[in-house]
Each structure stands twice: as C-alpha cells, then as structure tokens.
Structure 1
C-alpha cells in the first residue's frame, strides 16, 4: 500500500513539473515576441532616414564650396592670363561664372547701346539678319573676360524685330542686358554719347569709361545710305568711326569691291578686342571680314591708346 502511494506521488510530481515546464516555455515565448516591437523598428527607420538626409545635405554643401572655389580660381587665372587651355570646370560652374561677369558688367562695364529705332526702314529678311547679329553680339559678350554693359534701345515689344528675336534666339528674354523701348538719349546725357557711324569724319582713338558708345542697328542690303549718320545728327551727339583708314589699306580684288560697312556684331567684336588688347591693328586684323576688300597696313603704327576702365 505504501509503495502504491509513493508511485502515485511521483506521477503527480512529474505531472506538475511538466505543466511548469510548459508554463515556462510560454512565458519565455511571450517575452521574446515582445522585444522586437514595431515602435523600435519605426524609430530605427526614422533615424536612418534623418542620417541619410543629413549626409545628402553635407554632400551638397561640399559640392557647392568646391564649385565656388573653382569659379574663383578660374576668375583669377583669366585675369592674370594663366588659364589652362582645358580647365576642368563643370558646365554649371562655367555658366555661373559667365552669369556673374555679365551681372557685374551691368554696374561696372563699359557701356554700349544698339540703336534699334531704324528697323522700319528694313525688309523682313534684313530684320531676321539683324536678329541673328544681336544673338552673335550677345554670344561674344558672354565669352568676354570683361563684358560690356549692353543695352538694346528703341526695341518695342510690338515690333517685327522683337518678335523675330524671340523666335530666333533661345532665351532672348533672359539675356543679361538692358532691353528697353527708351532711346539712348532717355538713358544717358547727350554729352556722354559717341555714335559710331562709318560716315563720320573723326576716327575713334580709344574707348573711355565715361562714354556711351552707340551702334546703329542696321543691315546694309537695301537701306538708304548714311542713315546712321543722319540719325546721329538728328540726336545732336558726337560721332566717330572705326579707324579703318588709319590702320588698313585697300586690297586689289577681281570685283574691285571695297566696303567699310560692317555688321553690328562685327563692330562689337572689334571694340571688344581693342578693349582687351589696346591694339587696333590686332582688333581689325582679327575681325574685319576679308571679303570687304581691306587688309591691315604693312607698316604698323601701334595702338593709338589703351582703353580706360571703370574701377
């Protein structure tokens, strides 16, 4: 009888032990399932997202500082004449440099106006050609180390030329230059204006910072002669011509053709080169079209004057 009671007791103890083991496993399982909670996972994702955003911001600031350093370096090199042939600057940096120079020229650059008040005398073909010349003029100014402060005057929004400039020239309305319906006399004192016309008696000797140089916006196909000369006389302003006679001579050609009439962008390129080099010989030799029947004189007399710039 005692043996039976002992066996029954052991069975009961074993049953209790097994039940406790099962309870222990359930408790541990519950604890393990609670540890990797959703709140902790969400918190980890937020931390990682913030970390990535911070890293991107740091990288953007670093790239911006690098581009700014490259821009300043290129400016210094070009001003000192030590720029390499193929500087390793990105298009974005070069665009920012160009924009900065053009904006600076609006307040410190030598001043030049293109008088567009005479376009009513031109055919549609000539108007289109003039729109192309204005695009090339702006392209030359963008490339210049020291650009001009350029103004397009007497350009009405309802004019054929305005519509043609918008149609032909991408980004025309965003050009970094003054585009106005006002005349040069509305913008500048008459005593500061020098109107460049090939029919003037006086040759231009230098480009001064306290003057405003005006180019007649014309295309020389069928318009009447001396139109820019008449316009300058009407405005009662000082007139001058490029020193072609002083630095160039006629060249024999089959057609015996000789002309001093230049496109607006060609005159601008000559002025721009003279301002950079101080040499009329170099400027005329570089930009005067060979087909006009003139060549630089063999006997160089040297530059007449080195241009003065604003400080």
Structure 2
C-alpha cells in the first residue's frame, strides 16, 4: 500500500512538472516570435498563449488571496462590487509584466458571492486562479501568511516572493473598522498596512494621510503589480492611488523616509 502511495505521489509530481514545462515553453515561443519582429498571432494561438501565461502566473507568481469569509456581512450591492473589483484585478494581472498568483480563500462555490462573480465576470469559471473552500491557514503555510489591513500598525515595506498576502474581501464601501485586523489575530498571522503614511505622494491630503485608507481590491492588486516592477513605493502610489484621494494641498515630504530598495536576488 505504501509503495502504491509513493508511486501515485511521484506520478502527480511528474504531471505537475510537465504542465509547468509546457507553460514555460509556450511563453518562450511567444517571446521569441515577438523578438523576431513577428506581429501576427492567430486568435486561437493568442488564447492558448494567454492561458499558458496565466497558468504560469498562478504557479510561480507572488501569492495574493482574496478572503471571502465576509460574504454573510455583505449586502447584494457590496457583493456585486466585490465581483467587479475581482474582474478588474484579474484583468490587471493578466496584462501586467509582473506576476501575482491570485486565489480565493473561504470560497463557497454555491454561495451568493460566487453566483454574483459568475454573473458579473465574463468567463469566471475559466479564470486561472485558485479556488479554495478553506481559510488561508489550511491552504498555505501559516508562517508565510501576511494579512493586509488598513488598521494595522506595521507597514509593508517590501513584497517577499515567499510570503502569501491576504486581503479581506470587504469592498471599500463596507468599512467595518478593525475587521481585517481581528481576522488576522484569530488566524494567528501578522497584519500589515500599505505604507501610504510613509510614502505619500506630494499632493496627498494631510487629513487623508493619517487615516486608515481602505482601497478597492483591484487597486491593491495594481499596487502590488507596479511595486514588483519598480520596487519604489512612492512611484507606485503616484501611479496607482485613485484621484479621489488627491487634492491641491501638498505635504512636506522632506521628512519622509526614502523608499527602501531591497537587494535584487
């Protein structure tokens, strides 16, 4: 029996590795085609290559999870907005040169939130993301999980490829003060906030700067993608923060710390 289990495990591992090799091979074919000056790719070929690239992102990208545990506390309007933000986040990741491995945790495939996603997101069932019924601590190693919360004391100064980042699936209208912070405590994982207070753009309103800033989920994903590209928080926020968070007043940025530039691997 033990020998059979070992053989089955090896077979699964071999299949996973073969799939990963195919995805890399497809991505390399497209890269060489474009570098050689090729411009035309058939629609069928483009679909195949796009799917392979998304599968590669899912397998190798920085892990980013949307926590669907708050479904029961969301109105129909908020569930609809969550679905719209998930669509935009998926689209941003699809187009980005950097990669996030997107996952839904505490996901109920028969729930109202899932139904809303199927209605609002074209091709949702074919999304190249992870669907997990359990909490993040059952899907990933607890010591690698970091929960994003606008109410956290500690700031996220760098994005680590080995960490798993979890964002509470509460849309920006549903500001349940401290909810994501409480969730992190119950899971026994650290909570961090985006370092907006430390690296605010020059036109960031001083009043907004000291508030806990709950951003749309797709904006958080875009912030991750841009930071992974530039490794510069100030540049990232200047590019990604919604215009509604800006005004004509300026803040003194001379006392703000410079963006840390972690050594490149």
Please tell me whether the aligned partners of residues 117 and 155 of structure 1 are also in contact (alpha carbons under 8 angstroms): yes
Of residues 183, 187, 194, the one that matches 1:231 is 183
Name the SS for the 1:220 alignment partner. coil
Taking a change above 3 Å as real, the CA distance of residues 308 and 131 of structure 1, as seen in their structure-2 partners, is farther
Please tell me whether the aligned partners of residues 137 and 268 of structure 1 are also in contact (alpha carbons under 8 angstroms): yes
Match status 1:206 vs 2:158: yes
User: Shift of the alpha carbon at 1:90?
Assistant: 4.2
RMSD: 2.9
Stretch of structure 1 that moved more, 185-194 or 290-299: 290-299
Q: Which residue is equivalent to 1:278? A: 231
Deviations 1:14-69 (A, max 9, x none): xxxxxxxxxxxxxxxxxxxxxxxxxxxxxxxxxxxxxxxxxxxxxxxxxxxxx998
Greater RCO (CA < 8 Å, at least 6 residues apart): 2
User: Shift of the alpha carbon at 1:223?
Assistant: 4.5
What is the rounded CA distance, in whole Å, between the counterparts of 2:223 and 2:134 in structure 1? 26
What is the rounded CA distance, in whole Å, between the counterparts of 2:258 and 2:41 in structure 1? 37
User: Shift of the alpha carbon at 1:229?
Assistant: 1.1
What is the rounded CA distance, in whole Å, between the counterparts of 1:307 and 1:217 in structure 2? 32
User: Shift of the alpha carbon at 1:149?
Assistant: 1.1
User: Shift of the alpha carbon at 1:210?
Assistant: 1.3
Match status 1:194 vs 2:153: no
Please tell me whether the aligned partners of residues 153 and 181 of structure 1 are also in contact (alpha carbons under 8 angstroms): yes
User: Shift of the alpha carbon at 1:237?
Assistant: 0.2
User: Shift of the alpha carbon at 1:290?
Assistant: 2.0
Match status 1:159 vs 2:111: yes
What is the rounded CA distance, in whole Å, between the counterparts of 1:219 and 1:138 in structure 2? 16
**After the TM superposition, which residues 19-38 of structure 1 pair with which residues of structure 2 at under 5 Å, given as runs?**
none
Q: Which residue is equivalent to 1:289? A: 242
Please tell me whether the aligned partners of residues 208 and 307 of structure 1 are also in contact (alpha carbons under 8 angstroms): no
Taking a change above 3 Å as real, the CA distance of residues 236 and 69 of structure 1, as seen in their structure-2 partners, is closer
Q: Which residue is equivalent to 1:180? A: 132
What 5-or-longer segments of structure 2 have no aligned partner?
1-25
Please tell me whether the aligned partners of residues 65 and 165 of structure 2 are also in contact (alpha carbons under 8 angstroms): yes
Name the SS for the 1:173 alignment partner. helix
User: Shift of the alpha carbon at 1:144?
Assistant: 1.7
Match status 1:219 vs 2:180: no
Taking a change above 3 Å as real, the CA distance of residues 169 and 252 of structure 1, as seen in their structure-2 partners, is closer
What is the rounded CA distance, in whole Å, between the counterparts of 1:223 and 1:241 in structure 2? 15
Q: Which residue is equivalent to 1:63? A: none
Deviations 1:204-232 (A, max 9, x none): 01111111011111013245211111111
User: Shift of the alpha carbon at 1:89?
Assistant: 3.9
Of residues 228, 246, 260, the one that matches 1:304 is 260
Name the SS for the 1:194 alignment partner. strand
What is the rounded CA distance, in whole Å, between the counterparts of 2:89 and 2:44 in structure 1? 22
**After the TM superposition, which residues 1-16 of structure 1 pair with which residues of structure 2 at under 5 Å, given as runs?**
none
Name the SS for the 1:247 alignment partner. coil
Taking a change above 3 Å as real, the CA distance of residues 251 and 120 of structure 1, as seen in their structure-2 partners, is same
User: Shift of the alpha carbon at 1:168?
Assistant: 1.1
